[in-house]
Copies of this chain bind each other. A is one copy, B any other.
Amino acid sequence: MNFDFSEEQHQLRDQARRFLTEHSTSKRIRQVLDGVAPYDRAMWQEIAAMGWLGAAVPEEYGGAGLGHIGLCVLAEELGRSLAPVPFSSSVYLATEALLIAGSEAQKEELLPKLVAGEVIGALAWAEGNGNPNPKRIMARVSGGRLSGVKWPVPDGGIADIVIVAARDDSDRVVLALVRMGASGVHPEALETVDPTREQAKLTFDNVPCEVLPGDGWAALDQVLDRAAVLTAFEQVGLAQMCLDTAVAFAMERHAFGRPIGSFQAIKHKLADVYVATELARSNAYYGAWAMTASGGELPLAAASARVSATDAAWLAAKENIQTHGGIGFTWEMDCHLYYRRAKLLGLTLGSNPWWKDRVVSALESRNAA
């Protein structure tokens, strides 16, 4: 047994930390925040050049074959640095969906392009309010054409291809691959609590599409579990960054003639943030292992990692602002960027009440087994 990353994985982390500290700066994130661009194209290309997009993609499809644990290492750093790029949509969602459910032809055509960053992918499951649920899928595929309205779709306005959950003629949920160039696709940018990540409403009006083979919902379910673990690492990275920032500020900021970090109100608040972050990290580690191991641990491990990380990121982000006091809620300080992202990440794959229910369902089927 070994509950830590390997030497190589630690080196990958150091490389990622160095790159993102240098490039994912407040200045560049705020370009996206202010709507100058929907994402940081230059950063995206550099990330692609480093091979991160293919970290978990087999070499035969142009990937680096580092495996999912390597991807977890990158996810933690991306979360820590708030990198304003469509990494999660293209890698955790679209690429994973193709790996799980794509036809050989689709994999051979698209995976190399996704790995190279030439093609950006997205996944569209939501149709407005509500958590993932096959009953809520109203979009329709018939005769190779897709119609329906999907929102919010992360990076839906950026993506070149979108994999859409829809019903076929026999009412089964399938995954349909749509090229965004096709006619009949109407993207609309959405306003959200975190403008540093693009979100869109996509209207499909009789759009040509390719249906991926196999049971669409089963595949989506598996994609969501994997994405939950990877997102948990982003959330843990974000929580840790908030904690580090708050601790540093509490050491240097003085009030009443003492560093505010010498007041137990601040000390114990940050101790609680530390505890929540460590528990989330440990749950995420187990999820990372469950992603790679056989034995059906993933559903429980993924839901646990998700619930734990969502709570930790939210707590860390809001108490980081609180620790900063007045300047903490000014536009100039970056505290609110973490606060916005924390809430976004906690919602994007479905909210915690739903994931908590998944934890218990997994516990039930485990004890049943």
Smallest CB-CB separation from A263: which chain B residue?
Answer: B264
Q: Give the distance in Å from the alpha carbon of A263 to the alpha carbon of B265 in the complex.
A: 9
A268 within 8 A of B: yes
Residues of A in contact (CB 8 Å), total 4
Q: Give the distance in Å from the alpha carbon of A265 to the alpha carbon of B268 in the complex.
A: 8
Q: How far is the CB of A256 from chain B (nearest CB, A)?
A: 12
Residues from chain B with Cβ under 8 Å of A263 in the complex: 264
Q: Give the distance in Å from the alpha carbon of A268 to the alpha carbon of B264 in the complex.
A: 9
Residues from chain B with Cβ under 8 Å of A264 in the complex: 263-265, 268
Copies of this chain assembled into the complex: 2
Residues 234-277 of A at the B interface (beta carbon under 8 Å):
263-265, 268
Q: Give the distance in Å from the alpha carbon of A264 to the alpha carbon of B267 in the complex.
A: 10
Smallest CB-CB separation from A266: which chain B residue?
Answer: B264
Q: How far is the CB of A275 from chain B (nearest CB, A)?
A: 15
Q: Give the distance in Å from the alpha carbon of A264 to the alpha carbon of B258 in the complex.
A: 14
Q: How far is the CB of A227 from chain B (nearest CB, A)?
A: 33
Q: How far is the CB of A41 from chain B (nearest CB, A)?
A: 48
Residues from chain B with Cβ under 8 Å of A265 in the complex: 264, 268
Q: How far is the CB of A265 from chain B (nearest CB, A)?
A: 5
Q: Give the distance in Å from the alpha carbon of A264 to the alpha carbon of B271 in the complex.
A: 14
Q: Give the distance in Å from the alpha carbon of A268 to the alpha carbon of B266 in the complex.
A: 11
Q: How far is the CB of A340 from chain B (nearest CB, A)?
A: 28
Residues 116-159 of A at the B interface (beta carbon under 8 Å):
none
Smallest CB-CB separation from A265: which chain B residue?
Answer: B264
Q: How far is the CB of A341 from chain B (nearest CB, A)?
A: 29
Q: Give the distance in Å from the alpha carbon of A264 to the alpha carbon of B261 in the complex.
A: 12
Q: Give the distance in Å from the alpha carbon of A263 to the alpha carbon of B263 in the complex.
A: 9
Q: How far is the CB of A199 from chain B (nearest CB, A)?
A: 33
Q: Give the distance in Å from the alpha carbon of A263 to the alpha carbon of B264 in the complex.
A: 7
Residues from chain B with Cβ under 8 Å of A268 in the complex: 264-265
Q: How far is the CB of A292 from chain B (nearest CB, A)?
A: 40
Smallest CB-CB separation from A268: which chain B residue?
Answer: B265
Residues 309-368 of A at the B interface (beta carbon under 8 Å):
none
Q: Which 5 A-B pairs have the closest CB atoms?
A: A264-B264, A264-B265, A263-B264, A265-B268, A264-B268
**What residues make up the interface of A, taking CB atoms closer than 8 Å to B?**
263-265, 268
A-B contact pairs, 5 of them (CB 8 A): A263-B264, A264-B264, A264-B265, A264-B268, A265-B268
